[in-house]
Amino acid sequence: VQLQASGGGLVQAGGSLRLSCAASGGTFSRNTVAWFRQAAGKEREFVASFRMTDRNIAYADSVKGRFTISRDNAWNTVYLQMNSLKPEDTAVYSCAAGERLIVSSIRNHGMYHNWGQGTLVTVSS
């Protein structure tokens, strides 16, 4: 399965964007799909995840209540709806897929074996 992330762009603080992570050559039916982000000069950080097998969803505290992760009914696209964006949300956002991840490992980017390219989100103040 190949992952393709899209939907980034420039938005003013308080605005919204929706990122998409599309799978080609297969579906996400057995995966955990997550979004990570990396701001300039900072380490990659976990944003949100969706475990397909039981619909377990997790969010970083910094985005909880503002971001929503979801999937389509065909199991081949995962979305990240980002509302009330802040300048500190500016980063390159990447989606990743992993298999058989337990809850305690979901936030660890090293546990994901399949990565899409990043999409840049810039939030202006």
* pLDDT at res. 68: 98
The pLDDT of residue 125 is above 90: yes
- Mean pLDDT is lowest, of 23-32, 53-62, 73-82, for 23-32
Distance CA 49, CA 9 (A): 21
Average pLDDT, rounded, for the chain: 95
* pLDDT: which is higher, 100 or 80: 80
The pLDDT of residue 35 is above 90: yes
* pLDDT at res. 55: 92
Of the pLDDT bands very low, low, confident and very high (cuts 50, 70, 90), residue 75 is confident
* pLDDT at res. 56: 94
3-state secondary structure the chain: CEEEEECCEEEECCCCEEEEEEEECCCCCCEEEEEEEECCCCCCEEEEEEECCCCEEEECCCCCCCEEEEECCCCCEEEEEECCCCHHHCEEEEEEEEECCCHHHCCCHHHCCEECCCEEEEEEC
The pLDDT of residue 28 is above 90: no
User: Partners of 121 in the beta sheet?
Assistant: 9, 91
* pLDDT at res. 27: 86
Structure token pair of residue 80 = 């990240």
The pLDDT of residue 2 is above 90: yes
The pLDDT of residue 58 is above 90: yes
